[in-house]
Amino acid sequence: MPVTITPLSHMTVLLAHGSQAADLLQAQLTQEIHKWPEDTARMAAFCTPQGRMLADFLLWKASDGGIAMALDASLADATLKRLRLFILRLQCKVDDASAEQALFGVLQPPGEDSVLGPDAWPCPAEPWSVQRREGIALIRLSDATNSRRLLLVAENALGLREIQRLRTQIEEGTKDDWTLSEVRAGIGHVTAATAQQFVPQMLNYEALGAVDFKKGCYPGQEIVARTQYRGTIKRRSYRLVGPGPLAAGDEIFQSGDPTQPCGMVVEAAPATENWEALAELKITATTTPGTFHARSLDSPALTLSTLPYTLPPQD
Q: Specify whether 46 is located in the same domain as 125.
A: yes
Q: Is 52 contained in some domain?
A: yes
Instruction: State whether 205 and 96 are in the same domain.
Output: no
Number of domains in the chain: 2
Structural domain of 103: 4-173
Whether residues 142 and 234 share a domain: the answer is no
185 found inside a domain: no
In a domain? residue 182: no
**140 with 19, same domain?**
yes
Residue 104 sits in a domain whose CATH number is 3.30.1360.120
Are 168 and 204 in a shared domain?
no
Residue-wise DSSP of 269-287: EE-SSSEEEEEEEEGGGGT
Has residue 311 been placed in a domain?
no
Give the per-residue pLDDT at 314.
56
Burial string for 248-274 (b: 16+ CB within 10 Å, else e) reads: bbbebbbeeeeeebbbbbbbbbbeeeb
Does 245 sit behind a cis peptide bond, omega within 30 degrees of 0 on the bond before it?
A: yes
For residue 156, give the DSSP letter: S
How far apart (Å, rounded) are the C-alpha atoms in residues 254 and 5?
Answer: 37
Q: Within this chain, do residues 129 and 47 fall inside the same structural domain, yes or no?
A: yes
d(CA 123, CA 151) in angstroms, rounded, equals 10
d(Cα 79, Cα 178) in Å, to the nearest integer?
23
| 192 inside domain | no
Q: Distance between CA atoms of 5 and 19, rounded to whole angstroms?
A: 35
Measured in whole angstroms, the distance separating CA 17 from the mean position of its chain's CA atoms is 22
Cα-based distances in Å from 200 to 94, 112, 209: 23, 33, 11
Q: Which pLDDT score is estimated for 229?
A: 81
| d(C-alpha 116, C-alpha 134), whole Å | 14
Mean pLDDT by 10 residues, the chain (315 residues): 94 98 98 94 98 98 94 98 97 96 95 84 94 95 93 97 96 97 98 97 96 94 88 90 95 94 98 96 94 96 95 68
* Closest C-alpha among 136, 135, 124 to residue 39: 124
The helix/strand count (H/E) of the chain reads as 5, 19
DSSP string, 74-128: GGHHHHHHHHHHTTTT-S-EEEE-TTT-EEEEEEE-TT--SEETTTTEE--SSTT
227: CATH: 2.40.30.160
- The pLDDT value given to residue 315: 46
Q: What is the pTM of this model?
A: 0.94
